Amino acid sequence: LGGSLGAHQLNSLVAENLGWLCERFNVVHQCGAKDAESMPRGRDGYFLYPFIYKEMRDVISAADVVLSRAGANSIWECAVLGKPLVLVPLCGSGTRGDQVDNARFFSERGAAEVLLGDDADSEHLRTALSSMLDAEKRAKAAEASRSLSLGTMADGKRPARRIAEMILEEAGL
């Protein structure tokens, strides 16, 4: 997943490693409209889509592992569905840094492997995805991911409840 616009860095990693990936996984690749024409085609086990909308929940539900950027919406959807992640956050001077923070949050809790900066290369991608081929490792990461969406805050409250309380407080209700 590279978001609705795609992510050239992820698309390049997938293209560079497509043979290796298709030997080990069925790959459902949301590449974005910009890179759709330049992506390889005609490989068994490779399913290319410029954009996935209504079917995204089904695609994520069917996945054993998700390779993605670390945008908040995407990774929290994966957490709700209990998916282990390999994250390649958008980083560098042109970003706010929120994806790096998101990726670290998931990684520190055992829900994701993270490829950051110079580590976002073919070698590290293969290592991270190979680790997810181990059923026990994948199950632990999936449980860690799922537990994030069920977690509580330091004050013992669930995040959605605390947000609602803050809004009501601010509104004076």
Domain with residue 154: its CATH number is: 3.40.50.2000
Provide the whole-model pTM: 0.86
* Cβ within 8 Å of residue 71, ≥6 positions away: 3, 90, 99, 102
* Cβ within 8 Å of residue 53, ≥6 positions away: none
Contact 84, 141 (CB under 8 A): yes
Contact 99, 90 (CB under 8 A): yes
Quote the pLDDT of residue 163: 76
Quote the pLDDT of residue 161: 73
The answer as to whether 2 is a domain residue is: no
Quote the pLDDT of residue 100: 95
Mean pLDDT (10-residue bins), the chain, 173 residues: 85 97 97 93 96 95 97 93 96 81 96 97 98 97 92 63 83 88
Domain extent for 119: 8-171
Question: Hey, what amino acid is at 82?
Answer: G
Which stretch of DSSP H or E encloses residue 123? helix 122-131
* Cα within 13 Å of Cα(19), Cβ side: 1
Domains held by the chain: number: 1
The answer as to whether 3 is a domain residue is: no
